[in-house]
Amino acid sequence: MDLISRIGQHFTDSAQIKLEAGATLAGPIAQAAKLMTDCLVGNGKLLACGNGGSAADAQHFAAELVGRFEVERQGMSAIALTTDSSIMTAVANDYGYDQVFERQVRALGQAGDVLLAISTSGNSPSIVEAIRAAHDNDLHVVALTGKGGGKIAGILREGDIHICVPAKRTARIQEVHLLTVHCLCDAIDSLLLGVEA
């Protein structure tokens, strides 16, 4: 396959998985947006975490809410747990990397807050531990996964929302995760502000 065809195939595959995922994920994304909006209206906060590309998605999500997505509005209470290098390195050094988000969820999370936990494989130990901490502190959990959901699918509880991309390839899962982040931000704005397209 020549390079132009290879690149074109990426676009085709990305578009295809997004169309397929839209049919099954629109419902859980809408539920997650409603849960997050209710949290914000009740003066709660949204915490987000992930590793690698998923860390970038967590930061993107928080940035769109604290700043703005597509309309001017007040900033919303969202924190990416991936951004404080002193906390991350201290916890990783003193306790182990699996606890870098768990410690922050226990310290910052309060009952009624929402944790957005992102893992393309569903098996990231640091995300699994963050979800366990969220459950212990009575936070709601929205899990963004792929590849069948992995270990995360097995620890979610009733009331948690699982948005599992029906794909195996990491790049395709991450592309749908980014679209999901945008859908969540748009839906939250719509629910809070009555924003129309």
Query: Annotated binding residue at 124?
Result: yes
Query: Annotated binding residue at 2?
Result: no
Name the percent of the chain lying above pLDDT 70.
98
* 3-193 belongs to CATH 1.10.15.40: no
Q: Which residues contact 177 (CB under 8 A, 6 or more apart)?
A: 54, 57, 118, 120, 144, 146, 165
Query: Annotated binding residue at 194?
Result: no
* pLDDT per position as a tens digit, 112-123: 999 999 999 999
Query: Annotated binding residue at 43?
Result: no
Query: Annotated binding residue at 138?
Result: no
Query: For residues 118 and 62, what is the distance between their CA atoms, to the nearest angstrom?
Result: 13
Q: Are 131 and 139 in contact (CB under 8 A)?
A: no
Query: Annotated binding residue at 51?
Result: yes
Q: Which one, of 38, 107, 103, 104, lies nearest residue 76 by Cα? A: 38
pTM summary value:
0.96
Query: Annotated binding residue at 177?
Result: no
pLDDT of residue 117: 98
Query: Annotated binding residue at 93?
Result: yes
Query: Annotated binding residue at 53?
Result: yes
pLDDT range class, residue 197, cuts 50, 70, 90: low
Query: For residues 172 and 163, what is the distance between their CA atoms, to the nearest angstrom?
Result: 14
Q: Please compute Rg for the chain using Cα positions.
A: 17
- Beta strands 161-165 and 114-118: pairing type? unpaired
Q: Which two tokens stand for residue 160?
A: 């948690």
> Is the confidence at residue 86, as pLDDT, over 90?
yes
Query: Annotated binding residue at 119?
Result: yes
Residue type, 41: V
> What is the residue extent of each domain of the chain?
3-193
Query: Annotated binding residue at 174?
Result: yes
Query: Annotated binding residue at 64?
Result: yes
Q: Pick the range with the lowest mean pLDDT from 6-15, 26-35, 75-84, 188-197.
A: 188-197
Query: Annotated binding residue at 135?
Result: no
* pLDDT per position as a tens digit, 137-161: 999 999 999 999 999 999 999 999 9
